[in-house]
Amino acid sequence: MAYEFCKVEREGPLTIVTLNRPEVMNAIHAPASEELSAVFDAFANDPEQWVAIVTGAGERAFSAGNDLKYQASGGKMSWPKSGFAGLTNRFDLDKPLIAAVNGIAMGGGFEIALACDIIVASEAAVFALPEPRVGLAALAGGLHRLPREIGAKQALGMILTGRRVSAAEGKALGFVNEVVAPGQLMDTARNWAKQILELSPMSVRASKQAVTRGLAEPSVQAAIENQRNYPAIAAMFRSEDFIEGPMAFAQKRPPQWKGK
């Protein structure tokens, strides 16, 4: 299917979504968010797609965030239920997402990356939540995800100043997993995806769901006691993969995952 504001490619069980508005540094407006919401709906609902990479077109930007010129010209500012870029409010997606940040990730662009599970960054990448500079606030998850990932003091140091953070500093702070040369970015992101795809997708989804839901529990004890009630964990126990994994190990052969 052809899209207007993004490109979607499939490489086996891997989906690659490229934000494709390079003329505005891949800034996101309401029509792009609606389109991306449909893209991520399709990914979530496709049993053959297990991992996704999100990146930006061109060399300058992953995404400059909210399209302020579109907003200033009177464009509508509503977002789909799934949030900014069809992603930031997607709390029920248990399939892994990898952000391959190729350049500027500002405001909503940074929030898109934070909504992913793994961030691989080019050495040219720059991150910031500069919304207060234009009378806004990072309400698409940045104000809540960043403190949970790097701690309140470090997060507030970025949020209250709007300062720019390099990829290297992002790794030191803890929100970037790996920093690579620009030409190695997509190969590195694919390698992360490859490592994930070697595992049972049922186990991967159960693990992601246990982490995200467990962090919302009041204590580690509550998380452990309640985890068998999490749907993805229950699905893992019922799956063919739950039988295949131990059998393949006993037979000393690679497992043949079904994802069901």
Rounded to the nearest 10 degrees, the angle between the axes of helix 231-238 and helix 240-250 is 50
CA distance 239 to 257: 10
Consecutive H or E run containing 11: strand 6-11
From the list 131, 149, 169, 198, the catalytic residue is 131
Residue 162 DSSP one-character state: T
Q: Token pair for residue 146? A: 């960043």
The distance between the two most distant Cα atoms of the chain, rounded to a whole number of Å, is 64
Q: What are 8's two structure tokens?
A: 């979607």
**HEC profile for 227-259?**
HHHCHHHHHHHHCHHHHHHHHHHHCCCCCCCCC
Establish whether 240 is a catalytic residue: no
Active site residue 217: no
- Tell me how far apart the alpha carbons of residues 106 and 62 are, in angstroms, rounded to a whole number: 9
Rounded to 10 degrees, the C-alpha dihedral 69/70/76/81 comes to -100
- Choosing from 11, 23, 111, 149, which is the catalytic residue? 111
Catalytic residue numbers read: 111, 131
